[in-house]
Amino acid sequence: MNEATTMNIAPGILRIDLSSSVARVATYALLDDAPSRDVLLVDAGFRGGADQIDAALRTVGRALADVRAVFITHAHADHSGGLADVIAAAPGATVIASAGDRAWVEDPERHMSDNYDWPATYGLPVPEAVLAALRSMLGPGVPVRRIVKEESEISVGASWQLRVVGVPGHTRGHVALRDPRSGALLVGDAIADGVPPSYYESSVYRATLDHIRALEPRMLLGCHYSPRLGPAVAAMLDEATKQVDEAHAIIRDLVAIAQEPVTLPQAAKALQARFGDGGETRRWAWAARGHLDALMRAADAEPARVGNVPAWRQAR
């Protein structure tokens, strides 16, 4: 049986690292120290992970039944797939998400369709085994009871307020939580660490990096890497910015010099050749399209076709 590990990040902030045969991801529990002893859960993990969350909370004298709200940073399978299990244990809990990701929280099959089916049309299909693993992390959809946006306030008990920060890029509706008392930014997957990064449009992701930098967080609390504190915060943002800028230059130049329209597999291979990841070219599909879509928005590229496959060429 998989067991979660925990880490006390700051007063009232507990990191819970979940693991399964399919995924590893961190959720965060914000613990009210007032008599209510309420718990705000930041992300719900994957389907089947609720028992691990409950066991972790019990190490600090709480339980899953104490969860009063679940804040979803973004609606990917490893962050929202466990929602139904959490709500079953805490039926009074309010599910909180952005308008941009609401549909995926409430309809997991739409998440699968919107996020994983499209690469097949462009010549980079996601293997059935991968799709099956993703589906295994998804429970039933759960209604979102509260929609939040930039500067919305989230309370933990009566005396602890956090602010919502809009950080789109990894998904269109990705949001983070800013804790003024600790200086932490609970950032979900808004900042890529390593390769391949995943964003739906590179210019939006790039703007998010600048937005986070301007907030000057003292801690970055992500879900797939260790907490970043102090100087490591700026270092992570600098590395992510350098990577996205270099990747954009690669795709921009590829489209500019190509004699024929550029397909998604060609763009993905160009990024893989530069950054590498030891995996399959298809894993670069999201970032490659993110840069191609940014070129389209800037009127530096236009749609084309190579046979039956969508492609891009330099704008005329």
Whether residue 34 has pLDDT greater than 90: no
For the chain, the structural domain boundaries read: 5-190, 243-314
CA 30 vs CA 13, 51, 69, 163: distances in Å: 5, 18, 10, 14
- State the pLDDT at residue 36: 77
Residue with tokens 């979102």: 144
User: Looking at the DSSP assignment, which residues form a beta bridge with residue 314?
Assistant: 301
When pLDDT is averaged across residues 255-270 and rounded to a whole number, the result is: 97
Condensed to tens digits (0 to 9), the pLDDT of residues 99-109 reads 999 999 999 99
Q: Which pLDDT band, with edges at 50, 70 and 90, does 3 fall under?
A: confident
Q: Looking at residue 277, what is its pLDDT?
A: 76
Q: Examine domains 5-190 and 243-314 and report if their fold is the same.
A: no
In this structure, is the dihedral angle defined by the CA atoms of residues 102, 107, 110 and 116, taken in order, positive or negative?
positive
The structure tokens 């996601």 sit at 126
Q: What is the pLDDT of residues 269-314, one digit of tens each?
A: 999 999 987 678 999 999 999 999 999 999 999 999 999 999 999 9
Answer whether residue 256 shows pLDDT above 80.
yes
Which of residues 316 and 184 earns the better pLDDT score?
184
The structure's pTM equals 0.96
Per-residue CA distances from 128 to 40, 116, 125, 283, 288 (Å): 35, 11, 9, 14, 21
Q: Can you name the CATH fold of 243-314?
A: Arc Repressor Mutant, subunit A (1.10.10)
CA distances from 40 to 171, 219, 288 (A): 22, 19, 36
Orientation angle between helical segments 264-275 and 285-297, nearest 10 degrees = 110
Give the model confidence (pLDDT) of 56-67 as tens digits.
999 999 999 999
- pLDDT attached to residue 279: 77
Bridge partners (DSSP) of residue 312 are 262, 303
Superfamily per CATH, domain 5-190: Ribonuclease Z/Hydroxyacylglutathione hydrolase-like (3.60.15.10)
Centroid of chain to Cα 164: 15
Q: How confident is the model at residue 1 (pLDDT cuts 50, 70, 90)?
A: low
